[in-house]
Amino acid sequence: MNFYKTKRVLATGGAGFLGRSVVERLGKLGCGEIFVPRSADYDLVDVRAVKRLYRDACPDIVLHLAAAVGGIGANRENPGRFFYENLMMGAQMMEEARVFGVEKFVALGTVCAYPKFTPVPFREENLWDGYPEETNAPYGLAKKMLLVQSQAYREQYGFNSIYLLPVNLYGPGDNFDPDSSHVIPALIRKCVEATEKKDPSITVWGTGTATREFLYVDDCAEGIALAAERYNKSDPVNMGAGFEISIKDLATLIARLTGFGGAILWDPSKPDGQPRRRLDTTRAKEEFGFTAKTPFVEGLKRTIKWWRGQRG
């Protein structure tokens, strides 16, 4: 509790899906002051806005959570934008933090940075063993450059920055826009709307054979807060829940939890994305005591309840 009481924290993306949970978590930990920049006021792709942000926020700790992000469809449609915006935001936020004399910089990476055919479970040592899955490689590589920058700055300048690799997140407050959502909110929306319309079936991208791991958003927020307090090394750290589920089994589970009894059809003309995903989370537990707590079915129920509540 005492660590955060005297800290001024700048949380980019603090009004977003993950950011809201992180800000709430820091509040519970007694954080002295949290500055959440709005994109309308600070365009983090513009270095002038980044410099102004540091002057306005005067942070001790920076949590760089902001990202241009989306599901497989959004990544296919915006590879250039996702690469450029994430690269520029990250590079400029860290450089200006160094210049400003920030005490600590927490960079949030992505599981998309891992090679397409990484051995399961993904270990941090595997990060450079190949090229990422093609549909989200530009995004994944742009975020991966934060690790390179972080390690280079620690070596040359003694700058205290860390790099965290969360797996796919889900939970209340997620993005349910069908044009940019990830798989869990997309499936929940499809199933709920199909149930209401009494549709006989839903169609899901891919073959259903790909596997994913999911981390509840509040668990991720707790992990970020712990890492910001306790972890001070160059090595990247995975953050996950330590399980793996196929998209086919996920769709069946969400259909059951939402009450959708129709058929689930698959569209193999659409990409599956990375074949498998599951992280080795040993380092997070050993280095800063993080272990995911929310059971997957319970997290899904909360997310479904939230989405239904939003729709009235």
The pLDDT tens digits for 112-170 are 999 999 999 999 999 999 999 998 899 999 999 999 999 999 999 999 999 999 999 99
Which pLDDT score, from 0 to 100, does residue 2 have?
87
Examine residue 135 and state whether it is found in any structural domain, yes or no: yes
Q: Which pair of tokens denotes residue 10?
A: 């700048």
Q: What is the mean pLDDT of residues 25-45?
A: 96
Does 207 have pLDDT greater than 60? yes
Is 263 domain-assigned? no
Q: What is the pLDDT of residue 274?
A: 85
The whole-number average pLDDT for the span 173-179 is 91
Q: Which residue has the tokens 């596997």?
A: 211
Task: Please indicate, yes or no, if residue 180 is contained in any of the structural domains.
Answer: no
Write down the pTM of the prediction: 0.94
139 is catalytic: yes
203 in a domain, yes or no?
Answer: no
Which residue among 4, 42, 54, 139 is the active-site one? Answer: 139
63: β partners: 11, 106
CA distances from 154 to 98, 124, 149, 159 (A): 10, 18, 8, 4
- Please give the pLDDT value at position 157: 98
Amino acid at 55: R
What lies within 8 Å, CB to CB, of 146 at 6+ separation is: 64, 90, 91, 94, 107, 108, 109, 163
pLDDT score, position 129: 97
Count the domains in the chain: 1
d(CA 172, CA 312): 15
Q: Measure the CA–CA gap between 139 and 164, rounded to whole angstroms.
A: 16
3-class DSSP state of 264: strand
Which CATH number fits the domain that encloses residue 239? Answer: 3.40.50.720
Residue 258 forms part of a structural domain? no
Distance between CA atoms of residues 114 and 82, nearest Å: 17
Residue 273 pLDDT: 84
Share of the chain above pLDDT 70, in %: 99
pLDDT band of residue 312 (cuts 50, 70, 90) is: low
Share of the chain above pLDDT 90, in %: 92
**pLDDT (average), residues 272-296:** 95
* 66-90 tens-digit pLDDT: 998 877 788 889 999 999 999 999 9
Kindly state the average pLDDT of the residues 292-296: 98
User: For residue 295, what are the contacts with CB-CB under 8 A and spacing of at least 6?
Assistant: none
Task: Kindly state the average pLDDT of the residues 264-276.
Answer: 92
Q: Which residues pair with 203 in a beta bridge?
A: 265
Burial class (CB in 10 A: 0-12, 13-18, 19+), 214: buried
Is 299 inside a domain boundary?
no
Sequential DSSP letters for 143-182: HHHHHHHHHHHHHHH---EEEEEE-EEESTT----TTT--
* Domain encompassing residue 280: 2-172+214-244+276-294
Residue 1 pLDDT exceeds 90: no
